[in-house]
Structure 1
Amino acid sequence: MHAFAALLDSLIYTRSRNAKLRLLADYLRATPDPDRGWAMAALTGDLDLPGVKPAVIRALIEARIDPVLFRMSRDYVGDTAETVALLWPAPALPVDPEPLSVSGVVDRLAHLSRSDAPAVLADMLDRSDAEERFALLKMATGALRIGVSARLAKTALADAFGLDVDAVEEVWHGLKPPYDALFAWAEGRGEQPTAADVPVFRPFMLAHPLEDLRLDLNDYAAEWKWDGIRVQIVHVGGETRLYSRTGDDVTGSFPDVASAFREPGVVDGELLVKGEFQGGALDAGGGAASFNALQQRLGRKSVSAKMQAEYPAFVRLYDILFDGAEDLRELPWHARRRRLEAFVPRLDSERFDISQVIEAEDFTALEAIRAGARDAAIEGVMLKRRDSPYIGGRRAGLWYKWKRDPLTADCVMMYAQRGSGRRSSYYSDYTFGCWTEEGELLPVGKAYSGITDEELRMLDRFVRNHTLARFGPVREVEKTLVLEVAFDSIHRSTRHKSGVAMRFPRIARIRTDKPAAEADRIETLQRLVT
């Protein structure tokens, strides 16, 4: 456990991607099985220890120190695991001197009931130093937040043993922690695992932002960028699975889509919800509701028949990776497109259609088409090189995303809260509102991104110097500072008193030049609802 704790500690204070890769690779080469396998599971989000919940950890520490001291410390530090690791008192009685191992911790915690978990976890914390306690709590709750993505961890594994990262990614979801077969292959002790009979995830091909480029439409095809969630659908060996862009299995949230896809193959598309009054077969390129409707189903492990009926899901297909057992990824886009057009008619037309190619004479004409698109489900335009193979990750010059220009509104800061991680000492999460006709200020959104470090410090000073009241970790501030907020779209919401909810709000500018009374009204936002 000590080596894993030291790894996490080093990763937290390392900003360089290459340095992180070296730290991870060194750990994986030096650490024996199964510890390194369970460490990889923790780093990639594949470790589930249901007996340990944040509430258990809070109860343990508040039984040992003053609860007010803990909450004040947590508010300042910004991370529960770090706060508990530092505040945990020394045990009153001697403890077992046997050091903890990663595999030993996982094996013990994975088989505990929720009633037994507190005592066992407390014993482990008593036997650990502060660094090990931090690693233990992070691993137990599955919320590492150490600046390492699943892709980076897999890249480090590939680098450590001279493997191709896409080959690692391709078989990853067909294997279970602690990945004995994967490490046996990596060290030359076993055969390469295959994905022949298992519905595994393949890395998505991703796009670069278009920025200031102007492309020749003889070389690039244009499609709408739909505002849902990107999914990969795999049907192999009589089983269908849906994967999100990060490789998470989301089949349980969309059983209606999974059960309707019975054609052997692998496709890439956008998961959407049918628009209001949309029934029967999908039309050519429309029929999608806003992302707000899709959110009703996201993150659910099981979905009731009522919810499936109220929010019927479908997938608008972009690409095809496999047709049956035939791997099509090396084919150019235009050839895959023809295969996709032949594949889609074999699917249920109530659940699947194809993303239409935008017909435009040239790039100038495409600009005009994009500028006029304000459909609730359109996020922008995709441009795909016609001769591009399907390659996992981002490759320069092949695919571009050209998001539509954001909407903006001038809003008044109302509340602030400290952030997490390196922003835990600053008030960096801001709730902002707009005016009603009666002159009441109602919240319309919350944002924490879009600002520079200098602007963060300026806003933090404003919050501290203009606080009106405190509600736990939240500060209410004087309603005098205007923020220009950019957002992708806005939707009606019954959960918010204002009746609207922004999609991807971020702070575009701090409007110190504008009086709060001149900020936008909620009726202005309501006119932007899609």
Structure 2
Amino acid sequence: MKDFVQLFTQLDQTTKTLKKVAALVDYFNKANDKDKLWTIAILSHRRPKRSVRTSLLRAWAASAANVPPWLFEESYHIVGDLAETMALMHPNLESKHDKSLSEWIEFIIDLKNLEDEHPTESEDVLATKKEKVRWAWNQLDETERFIFNKLMTGSWRVGVSQKLMTRALARHSGIDENTLSHRLMGNWRAETSSYHQLIIATDPADKISQPYPFYLAYGLEIKIEELGKPNEWLAERKWDGIRGQLIIRENQLFLWSRGEELVTDKFPEFEILTEVLPNGTVIDGEIIAYQDNQPLGFNVLQSRIGRKNVSKSILDKAPVIMIAYDLLELNGKDIRESSLQYRRQELVRLVDNAASEKLLISELVEFKEWKDLLKERADSRKYHAEGLMLKNKSGTYKVGRKKGDWWKWKIDPLTIDAVLLYAMRGHGRRANLYTDYTFAVWKGKELVPFAKAYSGLTDKEINEVDAFVKRNTIDRFGPVRSVKPDLVFEIAFEGIARSSRHKSGVALRFPRMFRWRKDKPAKEANTLEDLEKLLNLYG
């Protein structure tokens, strides 16, 4: 644990990539295999599940610090992070333990096991949990307590990407970085795997369901003409759905989301593809809601996301297909190093042979000159698309976000002018500032909340809004403040849909603050009728 704490401190104290990679390599060189495996898991967002309810931890932490619950809650709102608040408020002790990272994680998992064995959480079980947690806190110094709390609450975040971790692991192990990226994909768990099985072993039988790392595009940040000759590029619609990888191996189908979640059970209608696609096929594409030969809005697809059970009713209301746009494996052979032109040629052949209504090819947008794409991009919302994808015909399928061969050229966002109505403190470094806002539009003489946003302002603007909130608070509701409705902001968003969950009757996709309209008084902000017009056009 002490080595992991040192690693965390080094990563937290620098923004330089080389220093982060060097710290990780040094850690991997001296850590045992169990600690290496859990470090890989933590940095791959495969941390242990939450082992104790946070309401219990808050009460126990307040008791250990000998402060009343209200003072603990106020401190939490100021600090903005529960794990850090508990670590700071506990009496400051020196480190007394010699447990490794993996041993502390096993300790945390045992707390979860207590809950699973006694789901009703009897008083004896709660007393045992409390005793164990309080004992752990007393063994750890402040930084160790913070990390222990993060692992226990299941809210771990550290300032290093999986890509950097993989780079460091490649230097430590001598294994190619792309190979490691592939091995780290899939449904592995640190509780049931080992460092050797995950990183060193190469048994193909263990990899039947394993996806490939996704290739991610950058937003187009240059003039389109600067890409070169138009005949060297393909253009496709950028679909508004769930990026997925469809795998057929050994007569079994596996479906992975870009977030490395196995979602096969969420989309049972794709099972029929095992009958029409050959073994050794891996297709990259977009899962979208689709009916009557046209895409439906993302809000329709969203009705299926997060559901544990997909009922027949849901299947009928939100039918889906996969729009295929790349082929990564053909007849069991990895073809990612082949040109896009070749991969697409083979993909078209596969999709045509499959002749399934559940698998469609991503149609090309025809153009001869770059200017031909301007109107196609502008018309994207007619297709329920987010814009265009531009892909180099000769490009290979890369790992992660790389510039050069794939660009996303999104349409300009929709916008609406709205009034700031509520504000709430942020988290982390912004815990002392009001940075999370609720916005409203006019319905007659009443302001109706319709969206929340927390991104888009500069630090200087955030400080100005924070000062306004503190000077113009009308009422308080816990951490939320109601403010004088004076400030107007232009809210940008990607899509709009009807919603029975919101008082306004609408829900926005990816709302953020586009600019502060200091030139506009609140009475000139948009209305609910304006939102309805956008809804009728683009909903």
- Alignment TM-score, normalising by the size of structure 1: 0.90
Residue 354, structure 1, aligned to residue 361, structure 2: yes
Aligned counterpart for 1:477 among listed residues 453, 461, 483: 483
Question: What aligned pairs does 1:388-427 form with structure 2 within 5 A after superposition?
Answer: 388-427=395-434
Amino acid at match of 1:177: A
Change (3 A) 1:58 1:448: same
Cα displacement string for residues 26-56 of structure 1 (whole angstroms, at most 9, x for unaligned residues)? 2121211211211221221113335334334
Cα displacement string for residues 349-373 of structure 1 (whole angstroms, at most 9, x for unaligned residues)? 2322111101123211111121122
User: Which position in structure 2 is the counterpart of 1:83?
Assistant: 85
Change (3 A) 1:307 1:121: farther
SS of residue paired to 2:397: coil
User: For 2:56 and 2:176, how far apart are their aligned partners in 1?
Assistant: 41
SS of residue paired to 1:362: coil
Moved more, 263-272 or 139-148: 139-148
User: Which position in structure 1 is the counterpart of 2:118?
Assistant: none
User: For 1:513 and 1:48, how far apart are their aligned partners in 2?
Assistant: 50
Identity over aligned pairs, percent: 38
Residue 155, structure 1, aligned to residue 167, structure 2: yes
Aligned counterpart for 1:266 among listed residues 272, 275, 282: 282
Conserved? CA contact 2:490–2:516, under 8 Å = yes
SS of residue paired to 2:295: coil
Question: What aligned pairs does 1:55-204 form with structure 2 within 5 A after superposition?
Answer: 55-64=55-64, 65-89=67-91, 97-111=96-110, 112-114=113-115, 115=121, 116=125, 117-172=129-184, 173=186, 175-177=188-190, 182=195, 191-192=201-202, 194=204, 197-204=207-214
Amino acid at match of 2:30: A
Amino acid at match of 1:522: L
User: For 2:12 and 2:534, how far apart are their aligned partners in 1?
Assistant: 41
User: For 1:258 and 1:43, how far apart are their aligned partners in 2?
Assistant: 32
Conserved? CA contact 1:261–1:347, under 8 Å = no
Amino acid at match of 1:151: K
User: For 2:173 and 2:344, how far apart are their aligned partners in 1?
Assistant: 36
Question: What aligned pairs does 1:323-362 form with structure 2 within 5 A after superposition?
Answer: 323-347=330-354, 349-362=356-369
Cα displacement string for residues 129-179 of structure 1 (whole angstroms, at most 9, x for unaligned residues)? 211111112122332222223333223222333332210111123654279
Aligned counterpart for 2:245 among listed residues 208, 216, 232: 232
User: Which position in structure 2 is the counterpart of 1:46?
Assistant: 46
User: For 2:105 and 2:308, how far apart are their aligned partners in 1?
Assistant: 23
- Alignment TM-score, normalising by the size of structure 2: 0.89
User: Which position in structure 2 is the counterpart of 1:19?
Assistant: 19
Aligned counterpart for 1:488 among listed residues 461, 469, 494: 494
Give the C-alpha shift of residue 428 in structure 1: 1.0
Change (3 A) 1:479 1:470: same
Conserved? CA contact 1:414–1:432, under 8 Å = yes
Aligned counterpart for 2:471 among listed residues 461, 465, 473: 465
Cα displacement string for residues 479-500 of structure 1 (whole angstroms, at most 9, x for unaligned residues)? 0000011111111111111011
Change (3 A) 1:178 1:60: same
Aligned counterpart for 2:507 among listed residues 495, 498, 501: 501
Conserved? CA contact 1:261–1:348, under 8 Å = no
User: Which position in structure 1 is the counterpart of 2:34?
Assistant: 34
Q: Which has the higher helix share?
A: 2
SS of residue paired to 1:331: coil
Give the C-alpha shift of residue 268 in structure 1: 0.5
User: For 1:29 and 1:178, how far apart are their aligned partners in 2?
Assistant: 22
User: For 1:348 and 1:46, how far apart are their aligned partners in 2?
Assistant: 38
List structure 1 runs of 4+ shifted beyond 6 angstroms. none
User: For 2:392 and 2:188, how far apart are their aligned partners in 1?
Assistant: 34
SS of residue paired to 1:528: helix
Change (3 A) 1:443 1:174: closer
**How many pairs does the alignment contain?**
514
Give the C-alpha shift of residue 96 in structure 1: 11
User: For 2:205 and 2:108, how far apart are their aligned partners in 1?
Assistant: 31
User: Which position in structure 1 is the counterpart of 2:373?
Assistant: 366
Change (3 A) 1:50 1:135: closer
Amino acid at match of 2:264: T
Residue 251, structure 1, aligned to residue 264, structure 2: yes
Root mean square deviation, CA, Å: 2.5
Residue 307, structure 1, aligned to residue 314, structure 2: yes
Amino acid at match of 1:210: L
User: For 1:358 and 1:444, how far apart are their aligned partners in 2?
Assistant: 35
Any gaps of 5 or more consecutive residues in structure 1?
A: none
User: For 2:269 and 2:384, how far apart are their aligned partners in 1?
Assistant: 21
SS of residue paired to 2:230: coil
User: For 1:154 and 1:240, how far apart are their aligned partners in 2?
Assistant: 28
User: For 1:174 and 1:168, how far apart are their aligned partners in 2?
Assistant: 15
Residue 453, structure 1, aligned to residue 469, structure 2: no
User: For 1:266 and 1:60, how far apart are their aligned partners in 2?
Assistant: 50
Change (3 A) 1:58 1:252: farther
User: Which position in structure 1 is the counterpart of 2:2?
Assistant: 2
Amino acid at match of 2:79: V
Amino acid at match of 2:7: L
User: For 2:165 and 2:466, how far apart are their aligned partners in 1?
Assistant: 34
Conserved? CA contact 1:252–1:301, under 8 Å = no
Cα displacement string for residues 287-309 of structure 1 (whole angstroms, at most 9, x for unaligned residues)? 22111122222234443333233
User: Which position in structure 2 is the counterpart of 1:525?
Assistant: 531
Change (3 A) 1:143 1:447: same
Change (3 A) 1:257 1:123: farther
Conserved? CA contact 1:319–1:337, under 8 Å = yes
SS of residue paired to 1:303: coil
User: For 2:152 and 2:251, how far apart are their aligned partners in 1?
Assistant: 35
Change (3 A) 1:382 1:200: same
User: For 1:73 and 1:185, how far apart are their aligned partners in 2?
Assistant: 42
Residue 207, structure 1, aligned to residue 213, structure 2: no
Conserved? CA contact 1:240–1:259, under 8 Å = no
